Amino acid sequence: MPLWPVYTGAPTPHDGITRLPPPPPWRAFDGGPVLDPPDEAADASATSPDRTHRAATYQATEHTVQLVNAALYLRRPLLVTGPPGTGKSSLAYAVARELRLGPVLRWNITSRSTLHDGLYTYDPLSRLYAARHAAEQHDGPAAGTGIENHLRLGPLGTALLPYARPRALLIDEIDKSDLDLPNDLLNVLEEGQYEIPELVRASRDTPDRRAEVMVDGTDQRVPVERGRVRCKAFPFVVLTSNGEREFPPAFLRRCVALRLRQPDDGHLAGIVRAHLGEPDAYARRLIDRFLSRVGSGDLATDQLLNAIYLARASGLGTDSLDELAEQLMPYLGQAPQPDAF
Protein backbone atom coordinates (compact mmCIF):
# COMPACT_ATOMS: atom_id res chain seq x y z
CA MET A 1 0.00 0.00 0.00
CA PRO A 2 1.56 3.36 -1.00
CA LEU A 3 2.47 5.62 1.92
CA TRP A 4 1.95 8.86 -0.03
CA PRO A 5 -0.26 10.71 0.65
CA VAL A 6 -0.97 10.41 4.36
CA TYR A 7 -3.29 13.43 4.22
CA THR A 8 -5.69 13.07 1.30
CA GLY A 9 -8.27 15.83 1.78
CA ALA A 10 -10.91 13.13 2.35
CA PRO A 11 -14.00 13.84 4.48
CA THR A 12 -13.63 10.67 6.59
CA PRO A 13 -11.15 10.66 9.53
CA HIS A 14 -8.59 7.86 9.59
CA ASP A 15 -5.36 6.77 11.31
CA GLY A 16 -3.10 7.35 8.32
CA ILE A 17 -0.70 9.32 10.52
CA THR A 18 0.45 5.99 11.95
CA ARG A 19 1.75 5.07 8.46
CA LEU A 20 3.98 8.13 8.30
CA PRO A 21 7.55 6.98 7.48
CA PRO A 22 10.37 7.68 9.96
CA PRO A 23 11.63 11.27 9.83
CA PRO A 24 14.81 12.34 8.07
CA PRO A 25 17.81 11.73 10.39
CA TRP A 26 18.19 15.47 10.96
CA ARG A 27 14.54 15.78 12.06
CA ALA A 28 14.35 12.83 14.50
CA PHE A 29 13.32 13.62 18.08
CA ASP A 30 13.44 11.46 21.20
CA GLY A 31 11.53 13.30 23.91
CA GLY A 32 9.84 11.51 26.79
CA PRO A 33 8.10 10.27 28.79
CA VAL A 34 5.77 9.61 25.84
CA LEU A 35 2.25 10.99 26.29
CA ASP A 36 -0.98 9.53 24.91
CA PRO A 37 -2.87 11.65 22.36
CA PRO A 38 -5.34 14.01 24.09
CA ASP A 39 -9.04 13.33 24.29
CA GLU A 40 -10.96 15.85 22.17
CA ALA A 41 -13.83 15.73 24.66
CA ALA A 42 -11.52 17.38 27.21
CA ASP A 43 -11.39 20.54 25.05
CA ALA A 44 -14.79 22.13 24.45
CA SER A 45 -13.40 24.34 21.67
CA ALA A 46 -12.40 21.25 19.69
CA THR A 47 -16.02 20.23 19.26
CA SER A 48 -17.49 23.69 18.69
CA PRO A 49 -19.94 23.64 15.74
CA ASP A 50 -18.00 26.35 13.88
CA ARG A 51 -14.64 24.57 13.95
CA THR A 52 -16.14 21.15 13.32
CA HIS A 53 -18.01 22.50 10.27
CA ARG A 54 -14.93 24.25 8.90
CA ALA A 55 -12.84 21.11 9.25
CA ALA A 56 -15.45 18.83 7.66
CA THR A 57 -16.19 21.10 4.68
CA TYR A 58 -12.64 22.21 3.77
CA GLN A 59 -11.97 21.64 0.07
CA ALA A 60 -8.28 20.93 -0.45
CA THR A 61 -6.70 21.26 -3.89
CA GLU A 62 -4.15 18.74 -5.16
CA HIS A 63 -1.44 21.36 -4.68
CA THR A 64 -2.45 21.79 -1.04
CA VAL A 65 -2.52 18.01 -0.43
CA GLN A 66 0.99 17.63 -1.85
CA LEU A 67 2.54 20.35 0.30
CA VAL A 68 0.73 19.31 3.50
CA ASN A 69 2.21 15.84 3.03
CA ALA A 70 5.64 17.32 2.36
CA ALA A 71 5.45 19.17 5.69
CA LEU A 72 4.29 15.99 7.49
CA TYR A 73 7.01 13.81 5.97
CA LEU A 74 9.81 16.35 6.52
CA ARG A 75 8.60 17.36 10.02
CA ARG A 76 8.72 21.00 8.98
CA PRO A 77 6.30 23.89 9.65
CA LEU A 78 3.89 24.77 6.84
CA LEU A 79 3.87 28.49 6.01
CA VAL A 80 0.52 29.22 4.34
CA THR A 81 0.07 32.56 2.58
CA GLY A 82 -2.78 33.92 0.53
CA PRO A 83 -5.59 36.48 0.39
CA PRO A 84 -8.13 36.67 3.22
CA GLY A 85 -10.86 34.05 3.06
CA THR A 86 -8.92 31.39 1.14
CA GLY A 87 -8.99 28.88 4.00
CA LYS A 88 -5.54 29.33 5.54
CA SER A 89 -6.71 28.79 9.13
CA SER A 90 -9.28 26.13 8.23
CA LEU A 91 -6.55 23.96 6.74
CA ALA A 92 -5.09 23.18 10.17
CA TYR A 93 -8.49 22.01 11.44
CA ALA A 94 -9.11 19.92 8.32
CA VAL A 95 -5.78 18.10 8.61
CA ALA A 96 -6.23 17.55 12.35
CA ARG A 97 -9.70 16.13 11.79
CA GLU A 98 -8.76 13.76 8.97
CA LEU A 99 -5.61 12.43 10.70
CA ARG A 100 -7.13 12.39 14.21
CA LEU A 101 -4.47 14.66 15.71
CA GLY A 102 -6.73 15.85 18.54
CA PRO A 103 -7.78 19.42 19.37
CA VAL A 104 -5.98 22.10 17.37
CA LEU A 105 -3.76 24.30 19.51
CA ARG A 106 -4.18 27.91 18.36
CA TRP A 107 -1.84 30.86 18.93
CA ASN A 108 -3.30 34.13 17.63
CA ILE A 109 -0.42 36.50 16.94
CA THR A 110 -0.48 40.23 17.71
CA SER A 111 2.20 42.91 17.52
CA ARG A 112 2.91 42.27 21.22
CA SER A 113 3.29 38.48 20.99
CA THR A 114 6.60 37.01 22.16
CA LEU A 115 8.10 33.54 22.05
CA HIS A 116 7.62 33.30 25.82
CA ASP A 117 3.84 33.78 25.37
CA GLY A 118 3.67 30.77 23.09
CA LEU A 119 5.78 28.52 25.32
CA TYR A 120 4.36 29.10 28.81
CA THR A 121 3.11 31.64 31.32
CA TYR A 122 4.14 31.84 34.97
CA ASP A 123 2.33 33.92 37.60
CA PRO A 124 4.68 34.59 40.53
CA LEU A 125 2.13 36.82 42.26
CA SER A 126 -0.44 34.04 42.57
CA ARG A 127 2.28 31.82 44.02
CA LEU A 128 3.16 34.52 46.54
CA TYR A 129 -0.48 34.86 47.59
CA ALA A 130 -0.77 31.06 47.96
CA ALA A 131 2.33 30.94 50.15
CA ARG A 132 1.07 33.83 52.28
CA HIS A 133 -2.30 32.13 52.71
CA ALA A 134 -0.58 28.89 53.77
CA ALA A 135 1.53 30.80 56.31
CA GLU A 136 -1.54 32.52 57.76
CA GLN A 137 -3.18 29.11 58.24
CA HIS A 138 -0.09 27.94 60.18
CA ASP A 139 -0.13 24.69 58.24
CA GLY A 140 3.45 24.84 57.09
CA PRO A 141 4.25 24.12 53.44
CA ALA A 142 0.97 23.56 51.67
CA ALA A 143 -0.11 21.98 48.42
CA GLY A 144 -0.56 24.57 45.70
CA THR A 145 2.50 26.67 46.52
CA GLY A 146 4.89 24.91 44.13
CA ILE A 147 6.02 26.67 40.96
CA GLU A 148 4.23 24.15 38.73
CA ASN A 149 0.86 25.10 40.23
CA HIS A 150 1.21 28.63 38.87
CA LEU A 151 2.61 27.76 35.46
CA ARG A 152 0.71 26.82 32.30
CA LEU A 153 2.14 25.77 28.95
CA GLY A 154 1.10 27.88 25.97
CA PRO A 155 -0.02 26.50 22.59
CA LEU A 156 3.53 26.17 21.23
CA GLY A 157 4.80 24.76 24.52
CA THR A 158 1.99 22.20 24.58
CA ALA A 159 2.53 21.18 20.93
CA LEU A 160 6.18 20.33 21.69
CA LEU A 161 5.34 17.90 24.50
CA PRO A 162 6.41 14.30 23.73
CA TYR A 163 3.07 13.06 22.39
CA ALA A 164 2.99 9.67 20.66
CA ARG A 165 1.50 11.27 17.54
CA PRO A 166 1.82 14.86 16.27
CA ARG A 167 -0.34 17.65 17.70
CA ALA A 168 -1.73 20.27 15.32
CA LEU A 169 -0.64 23.85 16.05
CA LEU A 170 -2.05 26.92 14.27
CA ILE A 171 0.11 30.05 14.57
CA ASP A 172 -2.32 32.51 13.05
CA GLU A 173 -1.30 35.71 11.23
CA ILE A 174 2.44 35.54 11.89
CA ASP A 175 2.89 38.65 9.74
CA LYS A 176 1.30 40.73 12.53
CA SER A 177 4.14 39.88 14.89
CA ASP A 178 7.05 41.94 16.06
CA LEU A 179 10.00 41.75 13.64
CA ASP A 180 11.94 39.51 16.05
CA LEU A 181 9.36 36.74 16.55
CA PRO A 182 10.07 34.71 13.35
CA ASN A 183 13.77 34.65 14.25
CA ASP A 184 12.96 33.77 17.86
CA LEU A 185 10.92 30.79 16.64
CA LEU A 186 13.83 29.41 14.60
CA ASN A 187 15.71 27.57 17.35
CA VAL A 188 12.62 26.16 19.06
CA LEU A 189 11.12 24.81 15.82
CA GLU A 190 14.49 23.54 14.63
CA GLU A 191 15.41 21.75 17.86
CA GLY A 192 11.87 20.71 18.86
CA GLN A 193 12.59 21.55 22.49
CA TYR A 194 12.77 24.32 25.08
CA GLU A 195 13.47 24.90 28.76
CA ILE A 196 11.37 26.39 31.55
CA PRO A 197 14.00 28.23 33.63
CA GLU A 198 11.82 28.38 36.76
CA LEU A 199 11.53 24.58 36.79
CA VAL A 200 15.21 24.08 35.86
CA ARG A 201 16.25 26.09 38.92
CA ALA A 202 13.82 24.20 41.16
CA SER A 203 15.15 20.84 39.91
CA ARG A 204 18.67 21.69 41.09
CA ASP A 205 17.50 21.36 44.68
CA THR A 206 15.49 18.17 44.06
CA PRO A 207 16.89 16.47 40.92
CA ASP A 208 14.44 13.56 41.04
CA ARG A 209 11.38 15.77 41.33
CA ARG A 210 8.98 15.64 38.38
CA ALA A 211 6.77 18.70 37.95
CA GLU A 212 3.17 18.23 36.82
CA VAL A 213 2.22 21.30 34.77
CA MET A 214 -1.04 22.41 33.15
CA VAL A 215 -1.33 22.46 29.36
CA ASP A 216 -2.97 24.90 26.98
CA GLY A 217 -6.76 24.71 26.67
CA THR A 218 -7.50 22.37 29.59
CA ASP A 219 -6.58 21.75 33.23
CA GLN A 220 -4.92 18.46 32.32
CA ARG A 221 -1.47 18.07 33.87
CA VAL A 222 1.55 16.46 32.23
CA PRO A 223 4.98 15.57 33.65
CA VAL A 224 8.00 17.74 32.88
CA GLU A 225 11.37 16.42 34.02
CA ARG A 226 14.07 18.87 35.16
CA GLY A 227 12.29 21.74 33.42
CA ARG A 228 13.06 20.49 29.90
CA VAL A 229 10.50 19.73 27.18
CA ARG A 230 11.39 17.86 23.99
CA CYS A 231 8.96 16.51 21.42
CA LYS A 232 8.68 12.90 20.31
CA ALA A 233 6.54 13.41 17.21
CA PHE A 234 7.15 16.84 15.68
CA PRO A 235 3.83 18.74 15.61
CA PHE A 236 1.98 19.67 12.43
CA VAL A 237 2.58 23.43 12.55
CA VAL A 238 0.62 25.79 10.29
CA LEU A 239 1.77 29.41 10.20
CA THR A 240 -0.61 31.70 8.31
CA SER A 241 0.24 34.98 6.63
CA ASN A 242 -1.67 37.42 4.46
CA GLY A 243 1.55 38.18 2.60
CA GLU A 244 1.86 41.63 4.15
CA ARG A 245 5.57 41.33 5.03
CA GLU A 246 8.74 39.50 4.09
CA PHE A 247 10.30 36.93 6.39
CA PRO A 248 14.01 36.29 7.00
CA PRO A 249 15.61 33.73 4.64
CA ALA A 250 16.68 31.59 7.62
CA PHE A 251 13.03 31.35 8.66
CA LEU A 252 11.74 30.62 5.16
CA ARG A 253 14.20 27.80 4.47
CA ARG A 254 12.98 25.95 7.55
CA CYS A 255 9.36 26.00 6.35
CA VAL A 256 7.41 24.32 3.57
CA ALA A 257 5.74 27.20 1.72
CA LEU A 258 2.15 26.92 0.47
CA ARG A 259 0.57 29.77 -1.47
CA LEU A 260 -3.24 29.63 -1.62
CA ARG A 261 -4.89 31.45 -4.49
CA GLN A 262 -8.44 32.50 -5.17
CA PRO A 263 -10.42 29.38 -6.17
CA ASP A 264 -11.59 28.91 -9.74
CA ASP A 265 -15.14 28.11 -10.89
CA GLY A 266 -15.00 24.38 -10.17
CA HIS A 267 -13.37 24.83 -6.78
CA LEU A 268 -15.90 27.50 -5.77
CA ALA A 269 -18.77 25.24 -6.77
CA GLY A 270 -17.25 22.49 -4.61
CA ILE A 271 -16.97 24.85 -1.65
CA VAL A 272 -20.60 25.94 -2.03
CA ARG A 273 -21.68 22.29 -2.36
CA ALA A 274 -19.83 21.31 0.83
CA HIS A 275 -21.34 24.16 2.86
CA LEU A 276 -24.80 24.68 1.39
CA GLY A 277 -25.59 21.83 -0.98
CA GLU A 278 -25.71 21.72 -4.77
CA PRO A 279 -25.53 25.25 -6.29
CA ASP A 280 -28.76 26.27 -7.98
CA ALA A 281 -29.02 28.60 -10.95
CA TYR A 282 -28.88 31.78 -8.86
CA ALA A 283 -25.92 30.46 -6.82
CA ARG A 284 -24.01 29.81 -10.06
CA ARG A 285 -24.87 33.31 -11.18
CA LEU A 286 -23.37 34.67 -7.95
CA ILE A 287 -20.29 32.50 -8.46
CA ASP A 288 -19.83 34.00 -11.94
CA ARG A 289 -20.26 37.52 -10.53
CA PHE A 290 -17.75 36.78 -7.76
CA LEU A 291 -15.17 35.53 -10.26
CA SER A 292 -15.70 38.49 -12.59
CA ARG A 293 -15.04 40.94 -9.75
CA VAL A 294 -12.20 39.17 -7.99
CA GLY A 295 -9.60 40.42 -10.46
CA SER A 296 -10.24 44.03 -9.40
CA GLY A 297 -9.68 43.54 -5.66
CA ASP A 298 -9.62 41.11 -2.76
CA LEU A 299 -12.78 39.15 -2.06
CA ALA A 300 -13.21 36.35 0.49
CA THR A 301 -15.01 33.10 -0.19
CA ASP A 302 -17.18 33.49 2.89
CA GLN A 303 -18.64 36.67 1.35
CA LEU A 304 -19.92 34.55 -1.51
CA LEU A 305 -21.27 31.92 0.90
CA ASN A 306 -23.12 34.62 2.86
CA ALA A 307 -24.74 35.94 -0.31
CA ILE A 308 -25.82 32.47 -1.48
CA TYR A 309 -27.18 31.54 1.95
CA LEU A 310 -29.31 34.71 2.11
CA ALA A 311 -30.52 34.17 -1.45
CA ARG A 312 -31.92 30.82 -0.35
CA ALA A 313 -33.18 31.80 3.10
CA SER A 314 -34.59 35.31 2.60
CA GLY A 315 -37.25 34.73 -0.06
CA LEU A 316 -36.41 38.07 -1.69
CA GLY A 317 -36.96 38.79 -5.37
CA THR A 318 -34.11 38.75 -7.86
CA ASP A 319 -33.67 42.53 -7.97
CA SER A 320 -33.48 42.79 -4.17
CA LEU A 321 -31.12 39.81 -4.03
CA ASP A 322 -28.79 41.40 -6.59
CA GLU A 323 -28.63 44.61 -4.56
CA LEU A 324 -28.06 42.69 -1.31
CA ALA A 325 -25.33 40.54 -2.88
CA GLU A 326 -23.55 43.69 -4.00
CA GLN A 327 -23.54 44.95 -0.41
CA LEU A 328 -22.30 41.60 0.93
CA MET A 329 -19.36 41.37 -1.47
CA PRO A 330 -17.44 44.65 -1.14
CA TYR A 331 -13.73 44.60 -1.88
CA LEU A 332 -11.70 43.95 1.25
CA GLY A 333 -9.45 46.76 2.34
CA GLN A 334 -11.27 49.28 0.15
CA ALA A 335 -11.65 52.73 1.65
CA PRO A 336 -15.22 53.37 2.82
CA GLN A 337 -17.32 55.34 0.38
CA PRO A 338 -19.13 58.49 1.52
CA ASP A 339 -22.81 58.08 2.25
CA ALA A 340 -25.11 59.24 -0.53
CA PHE A 341 -27.72 61.84 0.36
Shared domain check, 98 and 73: yes
What is residue 47's predicted lDDT score, i.e. its pLDDT? 56
Host domain of residue 100: 16-259
- Global model pTM greater than 0.85: yes
- Helix ranges, 41-154 (H): 49-57, 62-74, 88-99, 115-119, 124-136
Secondary structure element (H or E) that encloses residue 199, with its range:
helix 197-205
In a 3-state reduction of DSSP, which class is residue 2?
A: coil
In a domain, 205, yes or no: yes
Contacts of 157 (CB under 8 A, 6+ apart): 118, 119, 120, 194, 216, 229
Shared domain check, 157 and 224: yes
Smallest CA-to-CA distance from 34 within 164, 216, 225 is with 164
If one counts the domains in the chain, the total is 2
The domain boundary residue, chosen from 235, 259, 283: 259
What spatial distance separates the first Cα and last Cα of the chain, rounded to whole Å?
Answer: 68
Shared domain check, 211 and 317: no
Shared domain check, 301 and 175: no
Produce one character per residue of 215-235: b if its CB has 16 or more CB atoms within 10 Å, e if not.
bbbbebebebbbbebbbbbbb
Q: pLDDT truncated to tens, each residue of the chain (341 aa)?
A: 467 899 999 889 999 999 999 999 999 999 999 999 887 655 545 557 777 888 889 999 999 999 999 999 999 999 999 988 889 999 999 999 999 999 999 999 999 999 999 999 987 666 566 566 566 665 555 555 577 787 999 999 999 999 999 999 999 999 999 989 999 999 999 999 999 998 888 777 666 667 899 999 888 899 999 899 999 999 999 999 988 788 999 999 999 999 998 888 999 999 999 999 999 999 999 999 999 988 778 888 999 999 999 988 988 888 888 888 889 988 876 544 444 43
Shared domain check, 288 and 206: no
Phi then psi for residue 165, to 5 deg, are -130, 160
Spatial contact of 147 and 125, defined as CB atoms under 8 Å apart: no
Spatial contact of 79 and 255, defined as CB atoms under 8 Å apart: yes
Shared domain check, 175 and 138: yes
The domain boundary residue, chosen from 198, 233, 259: 259
